[in-house]
């Protein structure tokens, strides 16, 4: 085991017994929403995973230790510290561990630490991708590279709608990452169910997802698999309205010179304000939906993998 990795006893026992485990990121706690709503949401996601027969493993870096599974007290700690905790991508892990500092894991680092711990399934809200205007800024999320190299299935509601979804799909195709639509042939657009873009394959059951992932591993192809799970209809937002809010937020970011790690939190916060908080409620509900599917898929995988 990696000397910097701590696996929560509940998670360690589940992995040793061959029980399903689902990883969760911690950036959604520290940077995704205000306290105490962030803590309440994180605990609810863990509860949903347990209700669907799997063990949750929220991933984070605390005091330079890579954590696969947090206690309620550690989740509370993260929620209270909020945005003062550094967002940790692949490039940050070594320095944060060496300095004994905290880090909130993105999709990238959650995948890395989950794989270290032996966890193959990860539920999140939306992945990062190719940012609008990337032909000038070269702003492309490390999440896409990680999906190409780390064998973890990521269940999400698509790439975040603030991104260039068409270029994100092109980038994933170039890097050989399968993009599966759960119950749909169309790429979900995070807050809304429709983007007008097609995924690689439609898949209609957790068992089908588990079988595909099992075969990918058996073939030795490497890399992960992306499952895009549309937000429930009741919580979906009107695509035209959300696009207007995103366009305005992007213009404000450009005017204020917001770049790099700060761009996604800035845009999500502005979209929340511009939609009167509706986007935050949608965000929470799509995470719950993804957690349930991830747990069911992890369970199905245990049956397929024997």
Number of CB atoms found within 10 A of residue 271's CB: 25
Rg (CA), the chain: 18
3-state secondary structure of 71: coil
User: Exactly one of 8, 25, 67, 296 is catalytic; which is it?
Assistant: 25
User: Exactly one of 67, 87, 160, 272 is catalytic; which is it?
Assistant: 160
Contact between 52 and 43 under an 8 Å Cβ cutoff? The reply is no
Question: Cα–Cα distances in Å, from 60 out to 8, 66, 68, 159, 233?
Answer: 12, 6, 7, 22, 31
Q: Is 144 buried (19+), middle (13-18) or exposed (0-12) by CB count in 10 A?
A: buried
Start-end of H helices in the chain: 9-16, 27-30, 37-51, 72-81, 93-99, 107-117, 134-137, 142-149, 165-174, 206-218, 239-256, 263-274, 278-305
Counting Cα atoms < 13 Å in the Cβ hemisphere of 154 gives: 34
Helices (H) and strands (E) in the chain, counts: 13, 11
Contact between 20 and 299 under an 8 Å Cβ cutoff? The reply is yes
Q: Who's near 33: CB < 8 A, 6+ residues apart? A: 41, 280, 283, 284
Residue 25 appears among annotated catalytic residues = yes
Q: So which residues are the catalytic ones?
A: 25, 160
């Amino acid at each position: 085991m990696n000397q910097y990795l701590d696996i929560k006893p509940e998670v360690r026992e589940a992995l040793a017994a061959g029980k399903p485990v689902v990883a969760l990121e911690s950036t959604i706690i520290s940077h995704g929403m205000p306290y105490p709503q962030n803590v309440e949401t994180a605990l609810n996601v863990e509860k949903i995973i347990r209700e669907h027969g799997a063990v949750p493993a929220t991933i984070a870096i605390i005091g330079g230790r890579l954590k696969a599974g947090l206690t309620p007290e550690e989740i509370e700690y993260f929620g209270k510290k909020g945005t003062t905790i550094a967002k940790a991508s692949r490039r940050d892990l070594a320095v944060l561990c060496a300095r004994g500092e905290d880090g909130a894991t993105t999709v990238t680092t959650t995948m890395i630490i989950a794989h270290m711990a032996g966890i193959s399934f990860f539920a999140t809200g939306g992945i990062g991708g190719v940012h609008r205007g990337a032909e000038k800024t070269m702003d492309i999320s490390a999440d896409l590279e990680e999906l190409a190299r780390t064998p973890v299935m990521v269940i999400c509601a698509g790439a975040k709608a603030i991104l260039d979804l068409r270029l994100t799909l092109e980038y994933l195709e170039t890097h050989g990452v399968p993009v599966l639509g759960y119950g749909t042939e169309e790429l979900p657009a995070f807050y809304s169910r429709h983007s007008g873009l097609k995924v690689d394959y439609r898949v209609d059951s957790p068992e089908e997802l588990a079988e595909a992932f099992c075969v990918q591993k058996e073939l030795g192809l490497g890399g992960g698999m992306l499952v895009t799970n549309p937000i429930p209809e009741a919580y979906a937002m009107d695509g035209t309205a959300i696009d207007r809010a995103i366009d305005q937020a992007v213009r404000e970011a450009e005017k204020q010179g917001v770049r790099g790690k700060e761009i996604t939190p800035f845009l999500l916060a502005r979209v929340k304000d511009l939609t009167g908080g509706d986007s935050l409620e949608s965000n929470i509900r799509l995470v719950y939906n993804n957690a349930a599917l991830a747990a069911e898929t992890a369970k199905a995988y245990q049956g397929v993998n024997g």
